[in-house]
Amino acid sequence: MSMPSADNATQVNKLARGLIYIVLILFAIYYLLPLYVMIVNSVKPLSEIREGNMLALPREFTLDPWYTAWSTAQIGVQATGLKPYFINSILMAVPAVAISTLLGALNGFVLTKWRFRGDNLVFGLMLLACFIPFQIALIPAARILGMLGLAGTTRGLVLVHVAYGLGFTTLFFRNYYAAFPTELVKAAQIDGASFFQIFRRILLPSSAPIIVVTVIWQFTNIWNDFLFGASFGDFKSQPMTVALNNLVSSSSGVKEYNVHFAGAILAALPTLFVYIVSGRYFVRGLMAGAVKG
């Protein structure tokens, strides 16, 4: 009686596993279908797209839509393409990510290994900043940028993203450093190491997993941001997302869907590259303490 029961259980497990794989494959197809449509239609001539059947492979392969989106597309007043706005996004995202990550690491170190009276209150207030909607911060941020003379500049956008992302980076590093042995820090203090020596030589070298988590999180949020770029950037400092919206909105007469698809993919390539290169380290960083607390 035991052998048939074991065989039946094995068959049921195989059937259940097969159904799970089928469901996962269907979800994957559903999730990747928009990306497939964008890629396929970005290498088609516009005349072929007008014929319909956007799921079909291109009969005539062309990269002209990509060149147009990058260099010659009409965005706003001038036909500059997305290239200058791509550079604006790089100049905005890289410093903002670096500064917010460094400040978050310092905050996490202070809140866990350099305790002071009221540190939990300070951490609670910084954690509260993670839940403040973007829209609430628009008017105060605009007034501060105006007083500092940074309105409409890339430096102003960097400052806004650093300030808004500091709560998240502090949370990540604080939870990560909470599991770090305090005895090592105390031993370094006894040996005469200063605050920055302990941070640079002891904590920072062991922080690679959480640094990867923070960089991916911050870079994705900053690169994909539209609201701050549209609110605080002028024509010369607007990021890629704002330019992509202008590309679609400023097209008059003929809608060049192939150019729009190519522009959308160009805007998504940096974040896609970051996830492909360091996605596995993102999971490791989370497992190492980014969600502990």
pLDDT in tens, 134-181: 888 889 999 999 999 998 899 999 999 999 999 999 999 998 988 888
Say how far apart CA 253 and CA 92 lie, in whole Å: 33
Confidence (pTM):
0.84
Q: Give tens-digit pLDDT for 117-130.
A: 888 888 888 888 88
What dotted CATH number matches 83-290?
Answer: 1.10.3720.10
Region 243-257: mean pLDDT is 79
Under a CB-based contact definition with an 8 Å cutoff, are residues 162 and 219 in contact?
no
pLDDT band at 104 (very low <50, low <70, confident <90, very high): very high
Name the more confident of 133 and 286.
Answer: 133
Asked whether the CA dihedral 270, 273, 277, 279 is positive or negative, the reply is: positive
Res. 292: pLDDT tops 50:
no
Any idea what DSSP says for residue 114? S
Under a CB-based contact definition with an 8 Å cutoff, are residues 80 and 68 in contact?
no
Res. 287: pLDDT tops 60:
yes
Relative orientation angle of helices 134-148 and 154-178, to the nearest 10 degrees? 120
pLDDT band at 291 (very low <50, low <70, confident <90, very high): very low
